[in-house]
Structure 1
Amino acid sequence: MKATYHKYILNFKRPSGTSRGVMTEKETWFIVLEKDGKKGIGECGILRGLSADDRPDYEAKLQWTCDNIHLGKDALWDALIEFPSIQFGVEMAFQSLESETPFLLFPSGFTNGSDSIEINGLVWMGEAAFMKQQIEEKLAQGFRCIKLKIGAIDFDKELELLAFIRKHFTPEQVEIRVDANGAFSLNEALDKLNKLFGFQLHSIEQPISKNHTDRMAELCKRTPLPIALDEELIGVFSLDDKERLLQKIKPQYIILKPSFVGGFRGTQEWISLAEKYKIGWWITSALESNIGLNAIAQWTFLQHNLMPQGLGTGALYTNNFDCPLEVSKGQLWYKKELDWKFDFEQLD
């Protein structure tokens, strides 16, 4: 078996804002396996400034992985424990190589086009008018659940945007999730949660920054609306550490990004623990290309979680790979009549 790695820069159609700044491009990496005339591909979806494996030796570890591909998927997963995005890329590449075609990884009712995955519509941070425009577009497109990034503009303006939605749509008509990306200060977080409570939100992701576990545990105990951990899970590698974190904080939900938590195997560990402690969960992409998004979507469908998932990021880029994934009325579909427009030489 031969393995190679390739860097690819995804360009955003328009700058996309989070509480950590505005992004115009997204770096990603691919691992390509070749054996007996077949090829498989996996995406290592690192997000600089956030991923646990954003380290100076990242590319060297990709090279090591390719040099040691003969060790096999399971041994490599263990060896790459501190490189969750590479764990996922390796998992995906092996699954791709073993599949009938490189992109049909988990055949199901989703991949044959008979069933879909409900997703949330993502509203990016920006000026209030821009956010309002996005909200109106998502509602017009038929999304039943929207997710707003908050924490970058004036908090009162964000409350006005929530009031705008609730003026026109009840919680039964539109579910609202908000994601603070850790933007609230430790002292003001509970006060802000109380102000948000009036808008009948589904949940808030990561109200304060990670690694303040005592304060986060207190917030999860006292919060008037459900809290979902996201960044808090990044860099928690061992099963024992995962369990200790959930036992201590006792969140209402956890949000799982396979590129951040060690691929399907790492995600499954978190799901098993969440269900043990009666914690809700859902899966989201982490700004991967359509190659990574396709793998995540196919696997997510098999988990039979009926909550809206965070898998609507395929249309963000000007140079993404054309694929059968299509969003319609708040649902992600796999249109098998649409072909992949992908050539491995595109990566060279």
Structure 2
Amino acid sequence: MDIRTIDVHRLEIPMKGSYRASVHDFSVMDSVLIVLNTADGERGIGTVDPSPGYSRQTPSNIENALINDLLPALIEVTPQSPNKLTELLDTFEGGENAKCGIEMAFLDLYCRQRGHPLAELFGGALRQKESLNAWIGIDAPEKMGEEAKQWRNKGYKSAKLKLSGDLEIDSARIETVCEMVNPNRKGMEVRADANGAYSVSDAINLARSVEHLPLAHLEQPVPFDDLEGLARVSESTSVPVMADECLLSIRHLSSVISLKAANRVKLKPMRLGSLLSTKTGIEIAAAGGRSTVVGHGFGLSPATSTEIQLTASTRGVHRPVESVGPIKMQDEPFEPTITASDGSAVLPTGAGLGVDIVDNKLHSFTTNSTAIR
């Protein structure tokens, strides 16, 4: 693999609305696009799409790590295989978001040169489309219920509710939505995500207040650095608890399993720094009796393609998946964009990610560009 130049583009992508959780409220996706260029004119692309207030690296952090450290090393070493790339990236401490973007672009190019889709690296797709989970931001209980009904009517079989950290109103949010879209436990699956907004005692009280409801799981109710607290919540309620923000590495996943801190886990390639590690994590979780939810709710089409190709090729995934970023964007400089029909997304066809840059649109979304040679 002869990588001659690398382009880094900072993108601003307008979203269809404002998306509110306990840790953020934003309406523009600030992303970083990586383009690996070969002497033969081939290219591989990857995006890093951090959520403000949630991701552990900001877009500026990511851009600086790529330009100053990671990509110059990639140009110099020019690894010839995914394993060699992993070996190179492991020599750098931290920067998982940036590393994931590099791996994405590298795997895209690697697969394009061999003429097969990314899913082949994961053993081959078991299905050609993935069901998607709807995302509902913080609002009044009735408004969240009405939005859940709208998603259900479009064909979505599951929805995630964002919680604020207010025990009384969050309990009302969960109860209202469950009653509106999942009466008699035969309707839409309802998930709830607190993004670490609760103390242990309040999280237990919240979980117990909704035990009579068909809640699929309560996601990361306590801060990410309190695994023992998360375990206390899990053992104190019949509501399934899912770990998310605390899963910063495979080592953290092993700790969650050994402490019995959660019934289910959420793994994100961008946070782990690697799609390949994410597949390993799904397999480890399954061996430990835990199913895995996968998906970044604000990823652009390149990142979303990698996630749905991974999940479609991997057992142990709890569906619907949460890779719903593209449906929140007004437009993107990529084709095809990942779209949803009847609550499902079809895997892109073609080699690699199956997603390409629309060059004549790229400039209108770009705020800064850097070329590395």
- TM-score surpassing 0.5? yes
Mapped to 1, the partners of 2:27 and 2:313 lie a distance apart of 33
1:101-116 mapped onto 2 (5 Å cutoff): 104-106=117-119, 115-116=128-129
What's 2:50 paired with? 46
Q: Which amino acid aligns with 2:157?
A: R
Three-state SS of the structure 2 residue aligned to 1:49 is coil
Indicate if the aligned counterparts of 2:161 and 2:192 stay in contact, CA closer than 8 A.
Answer: yes
Question: Per-residue deviation at 1:56?
Answer: 6.8
Match of 1:15 in 2: 18
| Matched position secondary structure for 1:273 | helix
Mapping of residues 130-149 of structure 1, within 5 Å: 130-149=143-162
Pick closer, same or farther for the CA change 1:143–1:266 going to 2, 3 Å. Answer: same
Q: Once the two structures are superposed, what CA deviation does each residue of 1:270-311 show, in whole Å capped at 9, x if it has no partner?
A: 223212321111211241111111121112211133622112
C-alpha distance in 1 between matches for 2:205 and 2:165: 17
Q: Tell me the distance in 1 between the aligned counterparts of 2:210 and 2:65.
A: 43
SS in 1 for 2:53: coil
How far 1:107 moved relative to its partner? Answer: 5.5
CA distance in 2, matches of 1:246, 1:112: 27
Work out whether residues 8 and 33 of structure 2, in 8 Å CA contact, stay in contact via their aligned partners in 1: yes
Q: Output the TM-score relative to the length of structure 2.
A: 0.82
CA distance in 2, matches of 1:112, 1:213: 34
2:50 aligned counterpart, secondary structure = coil
Say whether 1:180 aligns with 2:194.
yes
Compute the displacement of 1:181 (Å): 1.3
Q: Distance in 2 between matches of 1:163 and 1:15?
A: 24
For residues 5-53 of structure 1, the C-alpha deviation after alignment (integer angstroms, 9 at most, x for no partner) is 1111122211111111311212111111111211111112233322233
Give 1:193's match in structure 2, choosing from 198, 202, 207: 207
Q: Does 1:155 align with 2:170?
A: yes
Instruction: Quote the residue 1:165 is aligned against.
Output: 180
SS in 2 for 1:136: helix
CA contact (8 A) 1:118 1:331 kept: yes
User: In 2, Cα distance between the equivalents of 1:76 and 1:170?
Assistant: 53
CA 1:336–1:170 in 2, change beyond 3 Å: closer, same or farther?
Answer: farther
Verify: 1:276 aligned to 2:291, yes or no.
no
CA distance in 1, matches of 2:200, 2:27: 30
Q: Would the alpha carbon gap of residues 223 and 281 (structure 1) be closer, same or farther in structure 2, given more than 3 Å must change? A: same
Aligned to 1:254: 265
> Match of 2:30?
27
Change (3 A) 1:169 1:93: same
1:120 aligns with 2:124: no
| 1:98 aligned partner, one-letter code | Y
3-state SS in 2 of match to 1:68: helix
Change (3 A) 1:333 1:211: same
Structure 1, 293-302 or 118-127: larger mean CA deviation: 118-127
Distance 1:10 1:261, change over 3 A: same
Counterparts of 1:51-66 in structure 2 under 5 Å?
A: 51-54=55-58, 57-63=61-67, 64-66=69-71
Distance 1:172 1:319, change over 3 A: same
* Residue of structure 2 in register with 1:77 after alignment: 89
The aligned counterpart of 1:210 is 224
Deviation at 1:156, TM superposition (A): 4.8
The answer to whether the aligner puts 1:220 opposite 2:234 as a matched pair is yes
The one-letter amino acid paired with 1:325 is: I
Q: Which sections of structure 2, spanning at least 5 residues, go unmatched?
A: 80-84
Seq. identity, %: 18
Deviating more after overlay: 291-300 vs 79-88:
79-88
Map of 2:82 onto structure 1? none
Give the structure-1-normalised TM-score: 0.87
- C-alpha distance 206-103 of structure 1, shift in aligned 2 (>3 A): farther
Letter in 2 for 1:92: M
Helix, strand or coil at the partner of 2:197: coil
1:92 aligns with 2:97: no
Q: 1:288-299 counterparts in 2 under 5 A?
A: 288-299=299-310
Gaps spanning 5+ residues in structure 1: where? none
Would the alpha carbon gap of residues 199 and 242 (structure 1) be closer, same or farther in structure 2, given more than 3 Å must change? closer
Equivalent AA in structure 2 for residue 37 of structure 1: G
Instruction: Report the Cα distance in structure 2 between the residues aligned to 1:163 and 1:74, rounded to whole angstroms.
Output: 43
| Residues 313-345 of structure 1 deviation map (CA, whole Å, 9 limit, x = unaligned) | 2111123234253312222223659x9673246
Aligned residue pairs total 341
**SS at 1:225 equivalent:** coil
Alpha-carbon separation, structure 2, partners of 1:112 and 1:134? 32
Equivalent position of 1:308 in the other structure:
320
From 64, 72, 78, give the equivalent of 1:67: 72
